[in-house]
């Protein structure tokens, strides 16, 4: 890639530095409007994954209707959102996904980057939707990024996701995204969650993605009720003992062997650090002061580990967010949850906004590289 992550990082940091500095300062003295949004638009799903329980709580009747979503995004609370991600559940199970995305694109005046996570498991529905969203983003000059989840090559993926031929279906969606590149300019790739079941397949997935020339990001398994409904799975699916160390090595190898300026390395270092130090978070997180998560039923959360501060169907999101009681809860999350939180959500955004941690990371990642004879320059 001609323009490296570091170059893009420095360009973005330079361009938005004055505003980010003001925002970071303001956030220390008073709550500011959020700049990062995750909208879980449904829990309904077309897979039944072993590491996530959203599929168990999918119920269309509990999802906000399109009219409700449209009304919610009329609030000027969203006026500073720069990065928005639509997730779930499986977003493409909603017939009105394209319309929802258009509402968000229209009602988020500062939006720069829009993303969708998908299983890609229902290609006939998903492909036309992705194409329409890519077109809508292009028309509005918003960067569009989409990732298909791949948790193994072939049968391993089908086993993790409990979907027969799931890998072939996801691959069909990936191929369609590749083919769309001739018409629309957007980022696409795959996303893999590493946990006890597929840990031994991780290198295999990496080799497959390289062969297919697909951008890949690896997530380390985590447990959160508001976002994945999966705290009950911790005992079963979290790698322990030698497996945990193997997972740490996998992430450290990525830092040592992948190009230094790969934006994901910052997150991989965070995972390796957390395993090594007994889950003590060193990394920044934009959700501490400028993130927001909206769930399918209208529940509003500061992040994947906060409580709901209210419901946006009944009350304006700004009113919920700025209430003294809500802000007190945010302080509590910062004190009690952040110190051990694994979440990588938009951590790169935090890096862009916090120069010192990023420079420290570059120094440490360079040192790690020196330890690996197989390192790439």
Ligand X SMILES: C[S@@+](CC[C@H](N)C(=O)[O-])C[C@H]1O[C@@H](n2cnc3c(N)ncnc32)[C@H](O)[C@@H]1O
Residues lying near ligand SF4 in the complex (CB under 6 A) are found at 45, 47, 49, 52, 54-55, 88-90, 119, 285, 287-288, 303-305, 333, 337-338, 341, 343
- Name 113's bridge partners: 83, 143
Q: Provide the CA 309 distance to its chain's centre, in angstroms.
A: 21
Q: Provide the CA 94 distance to its chain's centre, in angstroms.
A: 20
Determine which residue in the list 35, 42, 87, 122 makes contact with ligand X, applying CB under 6 A.
87
Query: Quick one: 162 or 366, whose CB is closer to ligand X?
Result: 162
Determine which residue in the list 230, 290, 326, 346 makes contact with ligand X, applying CB under 6 A.
230
Query: Quick one: 53 or 368, whose CB is closer to ligand SF4?
Result: 53
Return all residues near 248 (Cβ < 8 A) that are at least 6 apart: 271, 272, 275, 276
Q: How far is the CB of 136 from ligand SF4 (least distance, A)?
A: 23
CA nearest neighbour of 191 among 285, 85, 55, 280: 85
Q: How far is the CB of 89 from ligand SF4 (least distance, A)?
A: 5
Q: How far is the CB of 86 from ligand SF4 (least distance, A)?
A: 12
Q: How far is the CB of 189 from ligand SF4 (least distance, A)?
A: 16
Q: Retrieve residue 195's tokens.
A: 């946990």
Q: How far is the CB of 87 from ligand SF4 (least distance, A)?
A: 8
Asked whether position 117 contacts ligand X by CB under 6 A, the answer is yes
Residue 341 binding: pick among ligand SF4, ligand X, none (C-beta 5-8 Å cut-off by kind): ligand SF4
Looking at residue 264, the DSSP 8-state letter turns out to be: T
Query: Order of strands across the sheet with 83-88?
Result: 215-220, 187-194, 143-149, 113-118, 83-88, 36-42, 291-294, 299-301, 308-311
- Letters for 21-60 (x = contact with ligand X by CB under 6 A, - = none) are ------------------------x-----xx-x------
Query: Quick one: 157 or 254, whose CB is closer to ligand SF4?
Result: 157
Stretch that binds ligand X, among 69-77, 101-109, 115-123, 250-258 (CB under 6 A): 115-123
Contact in structure between 31 and 287 (CB atoms under 8 Å):
no
Number of helices (H) and strands (E) in the chain: give both, helices first: 15, 9
Residue 285 binding: pick among ligand SF4, ligand X, none (C-beta 5-8 Å cut-off by kind): ligand SF4
Residue 219 binding: pick among ligand X, ligand SF4, none (C-beta 5-8 Å cut-off by kind): ligand X
Asked whether position 239 contacts ligand X by CB under 6 A, the answer is no
Q: How many of the other CB atoms lie within 10 Å of CB of 166?
A: 27
Residue 122 binding: pick among ligand X, ligand SF4, none (C-beta 5-8 Å cut-off by kind): none
Query: Quick one: 312 or 333, whose CB is closer to ligand SF4?
Result: 333
Give the interface size with ligand X as a residue count (CB under 6 A).
Answer: 19
Q: How many of the other CB atoms lie within 10 Å of CB of 1?
A: 10
Please list, residue by residue across 135-149, b when 16 or more beta carbons sit within 10 angstroms of its beta carbon and e when fewer do.
bbbeeeebebbbbbb
Stretch that binds ligand X, among 116-124, 241-249, 252-260, 294-302 (CB under 6 A): 116-124
Asked whether position 346 contacts ligand X by CB under 6 A, the answer is no
Determine which residue in the list 85, 149, 346, 348 makes contact with ligand X, applying CB under 6 A.
149
Q: Retrieve residue 79's tokens.
A: 């006026």
Return all residues near 34 (Cβ < 8 A) that are at least 6 apart: 78, 80, 81, 290, 291, 292, 321
Residue 343 binding: pick among ligand SF4, ligand X, none (C-beta 5-8 Å cut-off by kind): ligand SF4
Query: Quick one: 10 or 338, whose CB is closer to ligand X?
Result: 338
Bridging pattern class, strands 143-149 and 83-88: unpaired
Length of the chain: 377
Determine which residue in the list 16, 75, 191, 327 makes contact with ligand X, applying CB under 6 A.
191
| Interaxial angle between packed helices 123-140 and 97-107, expressed in degrees from 0 to 180 and rounded to the nearest 10 | 20
Rounded Cα gap, residues 250 and 253, in angstroms: 5
Residues that bind ligand X in the complex, under the rule CB under 6 A: 45, 51-52, 54, 87-90, 117-119, 149, 191, 193, 219, 221-222, 228, 230
């Amino acid at each position: 890639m001609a323009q490296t992550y570091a170059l893009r990082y420095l360009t973005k940091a330079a361009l938005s530095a004055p505003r980010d500095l003001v925002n970071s300062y303001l956030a220390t003295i008073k709550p500011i409007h959020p700049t990062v949004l995750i909208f879980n638009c449904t829990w309904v799903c077309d897979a039944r994954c072993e590491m996530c329980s959203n599929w168990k709580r999918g119920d269309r009747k509990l999802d906000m209707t399109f009219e409700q979503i449209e009304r919610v995004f009329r609030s000027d609370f969203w006026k500073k959102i720069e990065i928005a991600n639509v997730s779930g559940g499986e977003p493409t199970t909603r017939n009105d996904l394209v319309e929802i995305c258009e509402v968000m694109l229209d009602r988020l005046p500062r939006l720069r980057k829009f993303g969708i996570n998908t299983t890609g498991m229902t290609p006939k529905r998903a492909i036309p939707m992705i194409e329409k969203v890519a077109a809508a983003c292009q028309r509005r000059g918003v960067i569009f990024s989409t990732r298909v989840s791949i948790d193994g090559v072939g049968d391993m993926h089908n086993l993790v996701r409990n979907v027969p031929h799931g890998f072939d279906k996801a691959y069909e969606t990936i191929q369609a995204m590749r083919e769309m590149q001739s018409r629309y300019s957007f980022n696409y790739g795959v996303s893999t969650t590493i946990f006890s079941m597929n840990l031994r397949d991780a290198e295999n997935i990496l080799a497959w993605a390289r062969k297919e020339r697909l951008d890949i990001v690896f997530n380390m398994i985590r447990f959160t009720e508001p976002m994945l409904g999966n705290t009950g799975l911790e005992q079963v699916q979290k790698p322990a003992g030698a497996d945990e160390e193997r997972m740490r090595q996998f992430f450290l190898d990525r830092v040592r062997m992948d190009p230094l300026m790969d934006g994901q390395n910052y997150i991989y270092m965070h995972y390796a650090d957390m395993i090594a130090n007994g889950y003590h978070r060193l990394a920044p997180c934009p959700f501490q002061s400028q993130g927001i998560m909206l769930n399918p039923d209208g529940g509003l959360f500061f992040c994947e580990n906060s409580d709901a501060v209210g419901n946006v169907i009944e009350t304006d999101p700004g009113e919920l967010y700025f209430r003294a009681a809500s802000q007190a809860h945010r302080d509590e999350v910062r004190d009690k949850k952040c110190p051990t939180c694994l979440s990588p959500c938009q951590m790169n955004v935090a890096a862009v906004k916090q120069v010192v941690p990023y420079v420290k990371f570059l120094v440490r990642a360079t040192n790690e590289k020196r330890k690996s004879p197989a390192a790439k320059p």
